[in-house]
Amino acid sequence: METASEVGFRFLRGTLEELVVDMNGQEKTFKILQSFEFNSDRKRMSVIIRDGTTIKLYMKGADNAVLARLDKNTEQVYEKAVNRKLEDYSRKGFRTLVFAMKTMSEDEYKTLKERLDDVAAAEDREDKIRNLEFLFLI
């Protein structure tokens, strides 16, 4: 929180449905569409938010869990630099987390939401969740 504040970002308030942040003196509200808690199997946590008309998925977690999910068809301009830092930090014995973001279209989110709703309604949802390939994204 301190570092974010130093560069002009300050959390103001939030609920399970939205967050309000001061961004360089301007108040901005983000709607939380989905949240996927961290667990030791996934080694990551994810949140999908609506920022005005844009939908974004943010993920943080263990480098191997997050980097494996990067889009191989999109140039990852920071990947080499991040990998160099991860190697350096690893040699020093530091624990690391990495962050990734993906902009989603309305159709992508709608399809994901429908699939999540179908799984949530299933009696054997825990088994279905473990076997869903689309969760690879989130």
- Per-residue model confidence as pLDDT tens digits over 19-54: 999 999 999 999 999 988 887 877 889 899 999 999
**What would the two tokens of residue 36 be?**
């996927």
Residue 73, Cβ density class (10 Å: 0-12 exposed, 13-18 middle, ≥19 buried): exposed
Cα torsion for 50, 51, 57, 62, to the nearest 10°? -130
What's the domain range around 18? 2-105
Collapsing DSSP to helix, strand or coil, 108 comes out as helix
Domains in the chain, number:
1
Q: What is the pTM of this model?
A: 0.81
CATH of the domain at 7: 3.40.1110.10
- 44, containing H or E segment: strand 44-51
Query: Is residue 83 situated within a structural domain?
Result: yes
